[in-house]
Amino acid sequence: MLHSTMRTQNASAVTPSQHTYGYQKSVPVRVHLQTADCLTGTATVANAGSAAASLRICNDTAADGWYRMEIKTSSVASDSDQMYTAGYLEGYLTQSLIADAMSNLTPSAVTDRTSGAGGPSSVREWFKQYDQHLAASVATGQAQSDPYWIHVGLVRQQMIGLWHGYNAQCLAQPGACPGGKLDWLDIVEFTPDAMDVGQAVTPAAQRTDWLSLTPARAAALAAADTHCSALVVGSNDSDVLMGHTTWGMYSMMLRVAKSITTELSAANTSSQRIVYSSYPGYLYSGDDW
C-alpha cells in the first residue's frame, strides 16, 4: 500500500537482539501519542542521565503527501550513543513505514526474508563483501584517529541502531512484522544503489549497451530508470538558481522530510544539523535534495 498509518503504544523498554557488529545496548524507549497525527519518543542509555535522543514524526500526507520527522540528540551521551539512539528511535517508531516502503519497493521482500533467501544472490553477496570491507576500514580508521572514518563509523552506528529499533518493535508488537525480523543485510541492501549493483554484477554480455541504442530508445530507458533531474544556473546579479525534480514510481510515494540535529564532539564535524527529503528507513536522501 502507498499510504501507511504509524502504529503507537505506551511506554516500553526493549532490548535489541544480539548481533556480530560490536555494539549491544539495552535501550529504554518511551513513546507518547501526542496528537492524532504526531508521535514523539525518547531513548536513553546507561549513564546518560537524561534522554540521549528524541524523535517527533507527524503524518502530513493528507495535506501535502509528506511525513515530517525531527530527531535531536544530546551531548549527555557519547557520540556513538547519540547516533545509535537516533537510529534506534527511527527504526522503532517508524517500523511500520519502513515495512510498507520495503513491501512497496520489493514486492517479494516478505517472502524472501521469511525464506532467508534475501535479494538476488549475486547482489547480496556483493553487499556482504562491501559491508565487511566497510567494517574493517572503520576499525582501522578509528584506531588511527582518522576523522573521515570516525564519522563513517558514527553513521554506521546510526544504521545499526535503526536495525535494532526495527526488530525491537517487531518483538514489542506481535503481528507488526509479517515477514519477521530483518537481518543486517536487509538493511544494508535497502537502497537504490542495489539497482546499480545489480547492473554491475550482471555479466557484461547481458548488460545494456547504451552506445548501440537509438536516441529514442536511450531516452525511453533513461526516463524509466533514472530518478532525478536538476538544473543549476547563474543569474545576472550573481545569484545561483537551482531547480530539482524527483522522478519516481507510485511505489516510492512514501516520503519523509527529515531533520537531524546532533551535539557531536568528533573533530571535523562540519555541521550539527542536516535537513533532507528522504524515504522510510533511509539515512540519506535518495534524491539528493
Q: Specify the DSSP element, H or E, that contains 179.
A: none
pLDDT at 165 over 80: yes
DSSP symbol at 174: T
Q: Kindly indicate the confidence band of residue 110, based on its pLDDT and cuts at 50, 70 and 90.
A: very low
Which of 268, 27, 52 shows the shortest CA–CA distance to 145? 268
Beta bridge partners of 29: 12, 43
Q: Which range, of 18-27, 60-69, 156-165, 201-210, averages the lowest pLDDT?
A: 18-27
Q: Where are the domains positioned within the chain?
A: 12-192+227-278
Q: From CA 17, how far away is CA 24, in angstroms rounded?
A: 8
Q: pLDDT tens digit string along 204-238?
A: 888 888 889 999 998 888 777 777 778 889 888 77
Q: For the domain with range 12-192+227-278, which CATH number is right: 3.60.60.30, 3.20.20.70, 2.40.50.140, 3.10.20.30? A: 3.60.60.30
Q: pLDDT tens digit string along 112-121?
A: 443 344 456 8
> How much is the pLDDT for 61?
92
> How much is the pLDDT for 214?
94
Q: Kindly indicate the confidence band of residue 26, based on its pLDDT and cuts at 50, 70 and 90.
A: low
Q: Kindly indicate the confidence band of residue 146, based on its pLDDT and cuts at 50, 70 and 90.
A: very high
HSE (side-chain half, CA atoms, 13 Å) at 182: 30
Q: From CA 53, how far away is CA 43, in angstroms rounded?
A: 5
Q: pLDDT tens digit string along 133-143?
A: 999 999 999 88
Cβ distance 99 to 173 under 8 Å?
no
Q: Which range, of 72-76, 111-115, 124-128, 191-195, averages the lowest pLDDT?
A: 111-115
Q: What percent of the chain has pLDDT over 90?
A: 39
> How much is the pLDDT for 124?
86
Q: From CA 264, how far away is CA 193, in angstroms rounded?
A: 28
Cα 72 to Cα 37, 209, 264, distances in angstroms? 20, 47, 11
Q: From CA 218, how far away is CA 285, in angstroms rounded?
A: 26
Q: From CA 57, how far away is CA 92, in angstroms rounded?
A: 12
Set of cell numbers at residue 218: 536511450
